[in-house]
């Protein structure tokens, strides 16, 4: 199954993002990484900017196992502390944002991630990896959605992106 994982970090991202990719590669087949971008923190202008991107993963795991068994374990290993504050700074944030055509409204497992249509730092890298991507049940390509016209809000990080792609051998 093809899954897409969004990555974000605003605590030492130059170290934590590659470390997270390496750890994920030890468990799953990561087949592509998008351009990574520097983005403003949501609702917290006092925080440092985030680094955001998306990774394409081929997996045999069911969504809940991938999210809670692998992604959350990597976050914990890299020092992520979850609090009640959804906008707190973080060493690493790994979110399962799409998993094939699966639609899930289970608590703790919303697929596809409803923020894809609102946040360019999710939509733009996702479209880079899958230009024909359509949200399940939709005829419109995500690339044609208005959120992708907000790419100007993202600042590409070519050096970090190059390092991550080299880790994949691409």
Known catalytic residues?
80, 90, 93, 95
Within 10 angstroms of residue 13's Cβ, the number of other Cβ atoms is 24
Is 18 buried (19+), middle (13-18) or exposed (0-12) by CB count in 10 A?
A: middle
Task: Give the Å distances, CA to CA, from 14 to 5, 24, 37.
Answer: 18, 16, 12
Contact 148, 124 (CB under 8 A): yes
Is 71 buried (19+), middle (13-18) or exposed (0-12) by CB count in 10 A?
A: buried
């Amino acid at each position: 199954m093809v899954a897409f994982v969004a990555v974000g970090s605003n605590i030492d991202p130059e170290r934590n993002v590659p470390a997270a990719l390496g750890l994920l590669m030890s468990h799953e087949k990561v087949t592509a990484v998008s351009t990574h971008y520097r983005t403003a923190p949501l609702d917290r202008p006092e925080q440092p900017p985030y680094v955001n991107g998306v990774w394409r993963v081929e997996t045999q795991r069911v969504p809940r196992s991938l999210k809670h068994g692998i992604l959350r374990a990597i976050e914990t290993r890299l020092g992520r502390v979850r609090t009640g504050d959804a906008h707190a700074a973080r060493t690493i944030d790994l979110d399962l944002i799409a998993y094939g055509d699966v639609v899930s409204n289970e608590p703790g497992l919303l697929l596809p991630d409803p923020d894809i249509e609102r946040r360019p730092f999710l939509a733009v890298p996702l479209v880079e990896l899958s230009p024909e991507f359509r949200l399940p049940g939709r005829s419109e390509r995500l690339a044609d959605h208005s959120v992708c016209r907000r790419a100007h809000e993202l600042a590409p990080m070519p050096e970090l992106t190059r390092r991550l792609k080299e880790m994949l051998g691409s």
